[in-house]
């Protein structure tokens, strides 16, 4: 799993700049920890320093540090990575320390941190600490507050964390390309007093969008609107970890948005409150109950709720954001009889398969021939059949018997007898029905919007 790569032994290509960490760098820079697996690492308890309750990064991990004279030292390596979005599809991204998103950085309010950044990309970069008030020269805006970090060099950032909060890090250099390639990570600052804002489970993810054409593996970085993979921590359903909790647990989910549009995040089941933003904790008097919270571009939101047993869907409520590639340019055939046309088309195109004349749910079950390294538009199956979801979708799985610290998938919820919606089999009265529309028999052949209107 976590493998340590000796930075200096592997770093023939890494020339440490004189303007950066100096000649004594070999003794100064901590080794870089690299991890490439998309499996979630359980929350990592702090080995030293002030105690805190660590976060669970969905399909991610937390960056280890070393403490030197009271300063926590981290080492980020910006580099090309290969990321599995879901079984069956991997992408060539840029990230940090082997993964996209990069590892979560966790520290405590008041901590002094020193963060080394090595650039193994083919172009220059910087790191901006999104939402954290740092000395201006540490803010990471290439050209404005610092020179860019050239390929092969290591820069160092050092600052004190002013207050608890949920933050992100990302480049402020060639942003369009570098963020479209997956360069981002979470930066969690825990309260000095671990009893403050304490929860039992604390999940975190950052949202990113990618434009990866079916059959290819590298994002189109100039795309402005027409993304086809809507990801949480560079994963899409059915590849996203479930959020596992025990009945009665106080659960927090921290969500950041580094896509190009807003995402109304909706959770089924227990109501929640927004308890934190980039600006800090929301005072109790300013919170209100919600089931959906819209997260704008560049924002972070922390939501909290008391867990109720069940399998509760959590997803973006923009329906196109719960689909994967292969779904965005399909014509809408609802209401058309494709039977007779199909035979004629099949003579010309042998693999032609008419679908969607009663909706598109059949696609989730039948499976269409699709290019290699491409996910179907919707997939995943549950205890009752196909889920017909993709993209920004996961399940909050709450059980009575989950042990503290256990984040493993408990499987599907076992509904108590008589509590599942079911077919009416008794002597039911004939349902009242509206008369058939007079236009029946007329071909209905609309096309869905295909791109530049957004989704």
When binding is defined by CB under 5 A, the residue of 44, 263, 397, 455 that contacts Cu ion is: 263
Contact range with Cu ion by CB under 5 A, out of 52-60, 186-194, 255-263, 367-375? 255-263
Closest contact distance (angstroms) between CB of 228 and Cu ion is: 13
Contact range with Cu ion by CB under 5 A, out of 12-20, 250-258, 260-268, 358-366? 260-268
* Nearer CB in complex with Cu ion: 164/396: 396
Closest contact distance (angstroms) between CB of 297 and Cu ion is: 11
Picking from 62, 61, 69, the residue whose alpha carbon sits closest to that of residue 107 is 62
Q: How deeply is 300 buried, as exposed, middle or buried, from its count of CB atoms within 10 A (0-12, 13-18, 19+)?
A: buried
Please give the angle made by the CA atoms of 186, 192 and 197, to the nearest 5 degrees.
Answer: 75
Site for Cu ion in 298-317 (CB under 5 A): 316
* Nearer CB in complex with Cu ion: 67/262: 262
Closest contact distance (angstroms) between CB of 304 and Cu ion is: 21
* Nearer CB in complex with Cu ion: 192/266: 266
Closest contact distance (angstroms) between CB of 393 and Cu ion is: 10
Closest contact distance (angstroms) between CB of 230 and Cu ion is: 6
Q: How many CB atoms lie within 10 A of CB 421?
A: 6
Closest contact distance (angstroms) between CB of 56 and Cu ion is: 22
* Nearer CB in complex with Cu ion: 367/454: 454
Contact range with Cu ion by CB under 5 A, out of 102-110, 261-269, 347-355, 393-401? 261-269
Site for Cu ion in 316-335 (CB under 5 A): 316, 318, 321
Cβ-defined contacts of 446-453 (< 8 Å, 24+): 446/331, 446/332, 447/331, 447/332, 448/328, 448/329, 448/330, 448/331, 448/332, 450/328, 450/329, 451/225, 451/226, 451/328, 451/329, 452/225, 452/226
* Nearer CB in complex with Cu ion: 114/263: 263
> In sequence order, which residues have a C-beta less than 8 Å from that of residue 303 and are 6 or more positions away?
252, 253, 255, 265, 267, 272, 273, 274, 275, 290, 293
* Nearer CB in complex with Cu ion: 193/290: 290
Contact range with Cu ion by CB under 5 A, out of 215-223, 263-271, 382-390, 428-436? 263-271
Classify the phi-psi angles of 266: left when phi > 0, otherwise alpha if psi is within -120 to 50, otherwise beta: beta
* Nearer CB in complex with Cu ion: 301/318: 318
User: Which structure tokens are listed for 301?
Assistant: 């939101």
Closest contact distance (angstroms) between CB of 392 and Cu ion is: 5
Asked if 83 is part of the footprint of Cu ion (rule: CB under 5 A), the reply reads no
* Nearer CB in complex with Cu ion: 79/388: 388
Integer angstrom CA distances of residue 266 from 9, 132, 255, 292, 377: 47, 27, 12, 4, 20
# residues contacting Cu ion (CB under 5 A): 4
Buried (b) or exposed (e) across 186-216, using 16+ Cβ within 10 A? bbbbbbeeeeebebbbbbbbbbbbbbbeeeb
Give the Cα separation of 322 and 388 in Å (integer).
Answer: 9
Closest contact distance (angstroms) between CB of 455 and Cu ion is: 8
* Nearer CB in complex with Cu ion: 199/208: 208
Give the Cα separation of 68 and 113 in Å (integer).
Answer: 10
Closest contact distance (angstroms) between CB of 302 and Cu ion is: 18
Q: Which residues contact Cu ion (rule: CB under 5 A)? A: 263, 316, 318, 321
């Amino acid at each position: 799993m976590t493998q340590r790569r000796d930075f200096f032994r592997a770093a023939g290509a890494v020339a440490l700049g004189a303007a950066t960490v100096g000649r004594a760098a070999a003794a100064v820079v901590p080794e870089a920890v690299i991890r490439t697996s998309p499996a979630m690492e359980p929350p990592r308890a702090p080995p030293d320093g002030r105690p805190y309750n660590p976060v669970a990064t969905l399909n991610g991990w937390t960056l280890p540090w070393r403490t030197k004279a009271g300063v926590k030292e981290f080492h980020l390596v910006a580099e090309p990575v290969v990321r599995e979005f879901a079984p069956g599809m991997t992408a060539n991204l840029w990230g940090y320390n082997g993964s996209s998103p990069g590892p979560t950085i966790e520290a405590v309010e008041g901590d002094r941190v020193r963060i080394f950044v090595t650039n193994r990309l083919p172009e220059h970069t910087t790191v901006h600490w999104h939402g954290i008030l740092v000395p201006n020269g540490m803010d990471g805006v290439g050209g404005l507050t610092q020179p860019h970090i050239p390929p092969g060099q290591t820069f160092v950032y050092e600052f004190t964390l002013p207050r608890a909060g949920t933050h992100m890090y990302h480049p402020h250099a060639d942003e369009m390309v570098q963020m479209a390639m997956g360069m981002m990570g979470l930066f969690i600052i825990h309260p000095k007093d671990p009893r403050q804002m304490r929860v039992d489970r604390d999940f975190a993810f950052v949202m990113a969008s990618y434009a990866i054409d079916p059959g290819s593996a590298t994002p189109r970085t100039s795309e402005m609107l027409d993304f086809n993979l809507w990801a949480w921590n560079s994963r899409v359903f059915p590849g996203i970890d479930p959020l596992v909790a025990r009945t009665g647990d106080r659960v927090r989910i921290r969500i950041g948005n580094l896509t190009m549009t807003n995402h109304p995040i909706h959770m089924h089941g227990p109501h929640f409150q927004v308890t934190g933003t980039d600006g800090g904790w929301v005072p109790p008097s300013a919170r209100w109950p919600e089931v959906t919270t819209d997260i704008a571009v560049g924002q972070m939101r922390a939501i909290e709720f008391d867990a109720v047993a069940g399998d509760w869907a959590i997803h973006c409520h923009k329906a196109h954001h719960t689909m994967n590639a292969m779904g965005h340019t399909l014509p809408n055939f609802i209401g058309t009889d494709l039977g007779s046309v199909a035979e004629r088309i099949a003579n010309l195109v042998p693999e032609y398969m008419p679908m969607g004349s009663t909706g598109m749910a059949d696609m989730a079950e039948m499976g269409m021939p699709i290019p290699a390294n491409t996910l179907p538009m919707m997939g995943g199956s549950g205890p009752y059949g196909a889920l017909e979801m993709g993209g920004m979708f996961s399940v909050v799985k709450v059980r009575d018997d989950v042990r503290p610290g256990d984040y493993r998938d408990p499987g599907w919820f076992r509904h108590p007898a008589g509590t599942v919606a079911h077919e009416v089999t008794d002597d039911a009265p004939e349902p009242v029905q509206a008369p058939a529309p007079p236009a029946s028999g007329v071909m209905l052949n609309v096309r869905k919007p295909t791109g530049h209107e957004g989704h």
